[in-house]
Amino acid sequence: MTKTNPIKMGYRMLEAWFNLSFGPSWNPLYNLGTLTFFFFWVVLVSGLYLFIFFDTSIAGAYASVEYITHEQWYMAGVMRSLHRYASDAAVITILLHMFREFSLDRYRGFRWFSWFTGVPTLWFVITLGITGYWLVWDELALYVAILSSELADALPIMSSSMARNFLEGQLTDRFFTLMGFLHLLGQPVLLVVVIWIHVKRMSHVQISAPRGLAIGSFIALLTLSLVAPVQSHGPADLSKVPDVLNLDWFYLSVYPLFDFWTAGQIWIFTLSTTFVLMILPWLPPKKTGPAAEVHLDHCNGCGQCADDCPFDAINVQARTDGARWAHEVVVQPSLCAACGICVGSCHSSNPFSQKNKVLETGIDMPQYPVDELRNRTDAAISKLHEENKILVFGCENAFDISTLESVNASVVEVFCVGMLPSTLVEYALAKGANGVFITGCRTGDCYFRYGNVWLDKRFDGGRKPRLRARADRRRIMVFRGAEMDGAKIKHALSEFQNTITDLNGQDASKLTTHKNQESSDERA
Ligand code: HEM
């Protein structure tokens, strides 16, 4: 049964609102990771263009940026604005991505690794932005440079005071070039490595934003760049105190803290915030059920479960038991999310087979074996006595399906709809259910990433094990919704019940016509 909290409900409402405007496939809140990648692409391409005109010397940097902004405003100027605004947009999507994983409780248990490695990406992105601000070498750059030097001085690693060097005008060309190197090459390469580690434990990771969303975001960035082109402050001048500094709060929000705190206190604040964020998955830890188990007697090593596993927890290896198959699969328990998707992937999870015996399959969940799933299905169907018997399968991470139970609707909960073998749906219809209604997380938002997608593909024939052609699709309905979408789900179920009533009527009259035809043929 699903527990909800106010943050989760609030976030869900926001998502639902975005779904109305964008639809599930283009909903930016379902595509925060891919949108961040898209903004990085814009930053990269615009950055490469700017590099053509940028002078990396301390004497020439400001003038070259002024040339970019004013002389070649129509191209390099636009690129400068795109570079800035896409960087800001990336911080927004990263923060939202982080908030989403937190508010939907997708950061603990088996997800600890993604969370733990996600936090440092914030440091890498923000420090990359900070070195970018140095390169303009205007008043803001000087402000950033001096305060950054004070931060560096507070660390016990510097032999002489960097801040003093600045104030004494001893900033050398070499040091400025080092900043350029860091911003243009060193930090981006490190960021790529950190992001690679961040998504390493997941399979089928999407890095391309949906085309429409990418085009829309680009148009928005371009419009902003044309309407409000980015400008520099006056040139860096140590003898002058700037009147106004327009801070970029996405990257430079740490510097105003100097008005209240010393550099040491700022370090303590930022490092302890980072530390708390990183240990969140263990405060309190989330328990994940036992990992999937492989039963080699029923595994032919086809590898479908390994391909379907959303968390890369299953590997295919050479056979070890001397059976005639070349391969077998092996589960890495520490990576297993206990979602059961592998059970739905296994062709031997077939409830029609092994009748009157315990149903065994190639890969199974010890805490909820496929045999128990079959037994629960049988029991749920046998509870139904009305005309329109509907069996509801539902995911335990979405709407609480126990509230759908009625005289003509019985429910069976699963860890994820991807755990459902396609043959179990056929089995339910063959065993007396007049309709099968499946509900789970909202489209585009599966708690276990790919359960929804695989179910759809298995049902439309695009992925094994497929729902067979002979299954009566008119009697199967998939309707998705989150915890708070109960009214919509109940409405869809009642519509489905009406459809089933009509179908039962049509099928009964077809049967009568058929029988009448047969008896008149016999009489003739
Ligand atoms: C440069 C910044 C980041 C990028 C480009 C990025 C990208 C991604 C991508 C592409 C995924 C896989 C999503 C999927 O296919 O289901 C992901 C997952 C995840 N990210 Fe990030 N991320 C970033 C920063 C962060 C941060 C700062 C956090 C939190 C501290 C975070 C936490 C997570 C978590 C917990 C998941 C696992 C989601 C799941 O298992 O369903 N990420 N990230």
- Which residue's CA is minimally distant from atom 9 of ligand 1? 33
Question: What pLDDT is stored for residue 169 in this prediction?
Answer: 66
- Share above pLDDT 70 across residues of the chain, in percent, rounded to a whole number: 95
Q: What is the edge-to-edge ordering of all strands in the sheet holding 390-395?
A: 409-414, 390-395, 435-439, 476-478
The residue whose C-alpha atom lies closest to atom 4 belonging to ligand 1 is 33
* pLDDT at residue 2 tops 80: no
| Ligand 1 center to 450 CA (angstroms) | 15
Å from CA of 489 to ligand 1 middle: 29
Residue 514 clears pLDDT 60, i.e. is over it: no
CA of 198 relative to ligand 1 center, distance in Å: 7
Amino acid code (one letter) for 353:
S
CA dihedral 187, 188, 192, 195 (to 10 degrees): 70
Say which DSSP state 406 is in: B
C-alpha to C-alpha distance for 341 and 330, rounded to whole angstroms: 15
Average pLDDT estimate for 441-454: 97
CA of 28 to the centre of ligand 1 (A): 14
> How many Cα neighbours within 13 Å face the side chain of 101?
26
| Tens-digit pLDDT profile for residues 27-74 | 999 999 999 999 999 999 999 999 999 999 989 999 999 999 999 999
Share of the chain above pLDDT 90, in %: 84
10: closest CA among 482, 355, 431?
482
Backbone angles phi, psi at 286, to 5 degrees: -105, 135
Q: What average pLDDT does this structure show over 389-397?
A: 97
Helix/strand/coil for 98: helix
Which residue has 């998939």 as its token pair? 478
Residue nearest to atom 11 of ligand 1 (CA): 33
Selected residue with higher pLDDT from 178 and 313: 313
State in Å: Cα 284 to ligand 1 middle: 20
The CA-to-CA distance between both ends of the chain, in Å, stands at: 61
Residues flanking ligand 1, CB < 6 Å: 33, 36-37, 94, 97-98, 101, 106-107, 111, 114-115, 118-119, 121-122, 125, 195, 198-199, 202, 205-206, 449
Segment 302-324 shows an average pLDDT of 97
**Atom 12 (ligand 1) nearest CA:** 205
Does the pLDDT value for residue 402 go beyond 70?
A: yes
Average pLDDT of the residues in 387-412: 95
Which residue(s) pair with 25 in the sheet? none
pLDDT tens per residue across span 182-208? 999 999 999 999 999 999 999 999 999
- Model confidence pTM above 0.85: yes
- Determine the pLDDT at residue 385: 82
Return the higher-pLDDT residue of 420 and 57: 420
pLDDT score for 506: 87
Contact, 428 vs 391, CB < 8 A?
yes
The answer on pLDDT for 509 being more than 90 is no
The packing angle between helices 370-382 and 422-430, to 10°, is 30
Three-state DSSP class for residue 137: coil
pLDDT recorded at residue 287? 87
DSSP classification of residue 168? T
User: How far apart are the CA of 282 and the centre of ligand 1, in A?
Assistant: 18
Q: Which atom of ligand 1 is nearest to the CA of 106?
A: 35
- Nearest Cα neighbor of 375 from 393, 398, 358 is 358
- Identity of residue 482: A
Mean pLDDT of 300-308: 98
CB 479 within 8 A of CB 489: yes
Summarised one tens digit per residue, pLDDT across range 487-504 is: 999 999 999 999 999 999
Task: Evaluate if residue 1 carries a pLDDT over 50.
Answer: no
Question: In the structure, what pLDDT confidence band is assigned to residue 325 with cuts at 50, 70 and 90?
Answer: very high
Instruction: Report which ligand 1 atom has the smallest distance to the Cα of 206.
Output: 15
Cα(90)–Cα(67) distance, integer angstroms: 26
